[in-house]
Structure 1
């Protein structure tokens, strides 16, 4: 999964760079290429990255339940 994410990142950034290159030479399809690469980052790469990073974590570690309990105990 780590290598897939690295490959996707390089591929998407390469396409994004190609879109900006097309824009610099005045091609009319450049904004389409840039838009598709930004969409790929947002809807393909980011969910895969978030899944990969948090797949073995406990969700309770990322909530404020402990903080809320400590705050309630201190206010009593």
Structure 2
């Protein structure tokens, strides 16, 4: 999964760089920049979050204010 994420980051950087080069040359590079940003948002971020939290306990990821307050009072 780590190799997939690295390759995906390189592809995204390539799209965004190509878009800026096209824009600098007076062409329409906004499309390529937009594709790169969409890939970051809808492909890279969910894959990263999945790979980061796939072996974790669900309770470790949940925000439970009642337990948090109880832990804070126990520590004091």
**TM-score normalised by L of structure 1:** 0.82
Deviation at 1:70, TM superposition (A): 3.4
Partner of 2:17: 17
| Structure 2: tracts of 5 or more residues without a match | none
When the two chains are superposed, the root-mean-square deviation of aligned CA atoms in Å is: 1.9
Q: For 1:71 and 1:2, how far apart are their aligned partners in 2?
A: 36
Q: What TM-score, normalized by structure 2, do the two folds share?
A: 0.82
Identify unmatched segments of 5+ residues in structure 1.
Answer: none
Inter-partner Cα distance in structure 1 for 2:4 and 2:45: 13
4+ residue runs over 2 A deviation? 62-66, 68-73
Aligned to 2:54: 55
Residues matched between the structures, number:
73
